Amino acid sequence: MSNSDAQSSTSDLRYVQYHGSKESTYLPAIRQLISKDLSEPYSIYVYRYFLYQWGHLCYMALDPSGNLIGVVVCKLEHHRSGTFRGYIAMLAVQEAHRGKGIATQLVCMAIDAMAERDADEIVLETEVTNTASLKLYERLGFLRSKRLHRYYLNGNTAFRLVLYLKAGTGMKRPQQLDDSGELPAQYGYSATSFDEIGVRDGHPVLEGSQVP
């Protein structure tokens, strides 16, 4: 990435949906961006698995020259639990552009797209030490549902996070507190009952979950 790329302001960025016709332009850049920062070494087949089937759930932030600044990759399918489950598989923003809300924007676009397609919930895993990722997702209303011991190939432990988009008893508005003690921003969860939501170590968790 050139200096001028790093200097482009957030307002210069375009947020676009991935499309298969753009594979030769963007897939190499997506792989490079993701593989630089994520601990899991994904093969080209993993990227194609997601992008061939759910390219419409992949959003990219591009600078004015068309360089890839950030990307989110997702899928949405029926889960054995009976839910129509969205999954955020990959998320990364170029280091020089972090802390400006780019990932938040990408994740919000992905959540909107999955909600429009009638998703019941959205899940993901993130390393327990990934403060930026945890902060971002919890600000959007995601809850810690499980602690996955040594989940990653590098031996690191993960949290599974979940965002409920629907409730068995209808939509509920968010009532949980974020780190600052305020209601979370744009997205709420809807649990069957607010009793399901607890707070442990200052973080929202699903009661009865495996988060210690």
* Per-residue DSSP letter, 179: T
Q: Find the shortest distance in angstroms from Cβ 10 to ligand COA.
A: 9
Q: Do the bridges between strand 121-127 and strand 84-93 make them parallel or antiparallel, or are there none, so unpaired?
A: parallel
Task: Figure out which of the listed residues 74, 103, 197, 205 binds ligand COA, where binding follows CB under 6 A.
Answer: 103
The residue length of the chain stands at 212
Taking the complex as a whole, the smallest distance from the CB of residue 21 to ligand COA amounts, in Å, to 26
CB-wise, 155 or 170, nearer to ligand COA? 155
Is 82 or 155 the residue whose CB approaches ligand COA more closely?
A: 155
Total site size for ligand COA, rule CB under 6 A? 20
| 162 sits near ligand COA (criterion: CB under 6 A) | no
Determine the straight-line distance between the first and last CA of the chain, rounded to whole angstroms.
Answer: 41
Q: By the 8 A CB rule, do 75 and 54 touch?
A: yes
Residue 100 binds ligand COA, judged by CB under 6 A = yes
Sign, CA torsion 162/127/92/46? negative
**Least CB distance to ligand COA at residue 72 (A):** 8
Could you tell me which stretch among 19-27, 102-110, 111-119, 198-206 binds ligand COA (CB under 6 A)?
A: 102-110
Q: What's the closest the beta carbon of residue 31 comes to ligand COA, in angstroms?
A: 14
- Pick from 48, 75, 79, 98: which binds ligand COA (CB under 6 A)? 98
Give, in order, the Cα–Cα distances in Å from 41 to each of 23, 29, 34, 99, 142.
20, 15, 9, 25, 26
Radius of gyration of the chain, Cα coordinates, nearest whole angstrom: 17
* Shortest separation between residue 169's beta carbon and ligand COA, angstroms: 30
Among 17, 35, 83, 130, binds ligand COA (CB under 6 A): 130
157 touching ligand COA, by CB under 6 A: no
102 binds ligand COA per the rule CB under 6 A: yes
* DSSP H or E segment with residue 17: strand 14-17
Q: 12, 63 in Cβ contact below 8 A?
A: yes
Tokens 């200096």 — which residue?
Answer: 3
Minimum separation from the CB atom of position 82 to ligand COA (A): 25
DSSP letter string over 89-152?
EEEEE-GGGTTSSHHHHHHHHHHHHHHHTT-SEEEEEEETT-HHHHHHHHHTT-EEEEEETT-S
Q: Which residues bind ligand COA (CB under 6 A)?
A: 37-38, 91-93, 98-104, 126, 130-133, 135-136, 139
